[in-house]
Amino acid sequence: MTASAENQPSDNEPSSLENPPTTNHNGSAGKNRRGIGRAMICLSIATGVFVGLGVYTFVYAKGASYLSNDPKSCVNCHVMNDAMDCWQHSSHHAVTVCNDCHMPHDFIGKWVTKADNGLFHSIAFTTGDYPDNLRIKDRNLRIVQQACLHCHERFVENMHPVVAGGDLQSCMHCHQEVGHALHP
């Protein structure tokens, strides 16, 4: 018999390709499969719990309302009631809604900002970790500034900095009661 013929299985012996060994030299292949199966079950349960809590929270917090342009969605959290009352007594009540001033006017910027603010607002309001006197963050203050300029460009064009890139006075510096009258 040649060397290659010795390595070939006989007709009576099953080839190793047809019946691969189920255990290695120490018999642990079956244990590995059970461990992977248990890990997949645990991962599936954890994913289900995470997704379930996410869906429950989205429904409970009326998450779909935040996708709209309706100012009532902003008062889903009681902490925003004062802001809503102030806006209703402001000079802009008849011409703007929350998104007009608090969201960028470009499509992608608007939805990125809604997602970013929504995440951090939901965490803060769920945990109760926010100050009684809400303050706008710098990033959102820049959005409000751009919204003012978007609507009032022709009135403020002579107020732009003389040097490109120079500082422009914040609209909110003089007009902080425009969007939310401080005393309804």
- State the sign of the Cα–Cα–Cα–Cα dihedral 86, 100, 97, 161: positive
Domain 71-175 has what CATH class?
Answer: mainly alpha
Mean pLDDT confidence for 19-47: 73
29 against 94, higher pLDDT: 94
Residue 101 · residue 90 · CB < 8 Å: no
| String of DSSP letters for 82-111 | HHHHHHHTSTTTTT--HHHHHS-SSHHHHH
Domain boundaries, given as residue ranges, for the chain = 17-60, 71-175
pTM, rounded to two decimals: 0.63
Rounded Cα distance between 119 and 141, Å, is: 18
161 against 150, higher pLDDT: 150
- Kindly tell me if the per-residue pLDDT of 61 is higher than 80: no
21 against 75, higher pLDDT: 75
- Kindly tell me if the per-residue pLDDT of 24 is higher than 90: no
DSSP state of 10: P
- How much is the pLDDT for 157? 77
Contacts of 108 (CB under 8 A, 6+ apart): none
